[in-house]
Amino acid sequence: MPSASALRIQIEHDLERRFPAALTPVARTIRETASTGIPEVDALTDGGLPVGAISEVTGPESSGRTSLAHAFVAQRTQEDRVCAWVDVHDTLDVETAAANGVRLRQLLWVRCRNAGVRGKDAARPWTRLDQALRATDLLLQAGGFSALVLDLGSTAPEHGLRIPLATWFRFRQAADRTRCCLLLLAQAPLSQSSAALVLECPPLRMEAECQTVLRGFRYEVRRGRQRIALAGARKPPASTWTAAAAWQRGEHV
């Protein structure tokens, strides 16, 4: 009676020509990534943000979300690529963005406002959010943008969760078709399974030499989820980076 190993060899020999795919490992596709401009974050994400996919950076106010987005857009615009920033609450500080290396000539800034809305509906957060989603959809479908930042950082999570899953799925398909990096800034994860990468930012920590001198801000990033990772890669610990600054008695020095 043949042994189990002999039977296995015989079966594999009989099937290797008839059904080669049954015994051939599927080739693993490594997704193209774009550097964030921050070496610590690139190491955490296996090279940067995935190209042609949705990435989310979540966290509370003053957690480093915008600083990370500035670094990423600066990296892309310095490569002579065109980017877009959909600003839901009109909070983007272009002077700070330029100081962080963003080439404003390469950046399309979409500012969402409540223009034309009167009465009690003027303060509805869904008004700005609807404009932002429509603008994002148009830009993704048009193509030509290397990166697109959808800034929902000041939007309450309960309003962001009203966005249908079909919207995120459509954004994911459009980003993949146009090879655009869609970066979503929010207080909590919103796109769910449509996101290829989720980064979590806890509140920042300040580095001070004494009570009056501020040396800088230490940001921390954790990889919450990564749908496509390198084979055999383990989830790394949190990464930190420091934004240099020096402040004394309320004045910059």
Name the residue ranges covered by the structural domains of the chain. 29-201
Q: How confident is the model at residue 247 (pLDDT cuts 50, 70, 90)?
A: very low
Give pLDDT, residue 56.
96
Query: Across all residues in the chain, what is the average pLDDT?
Result: 80
> pLDDT by residue (tens digit) across 4-52?
777 777 776 776 666 555 555 545 556 799 999 999 899 888 899 999 9
In this model, does residue 62 exceed pLDDT 50?
yes
Give pLDDT, residue 248.
31
Q: How confident is the model at residue 127 (pLDDT cuts 50, 70, 90)?
A: confident
Q: What is the mean pLDDT of residues 95-122?
A: 83
In this model, does residue 1 exceed pLDDT 70?
no
In this model, does residue 235 exceed pLDDT 60?
no
Of residues 69 and 204, which shows the higher confidence score? 69
Give pLDDT, residue 245.
34
Q: How confident is the model at residue 251 (pLDDT cuts 50, 70, 90)?
A: very low
CATH for the stretch 29-201? 3.40.50.300
Provide the whole-model pTM: 0.75
For residue 212, what are its two tokens?
A: 């009056």
> pLDDT by residue (tens digit) across 174-231?
999 999 999 999 999 999 899 999 999 887 666 665 666 655 566 778 877 666 554 4
Of residues 69 and 123, which shows the higher confidence score? 69
In this model, does residue 59 exceed pLDDT 70?
yes
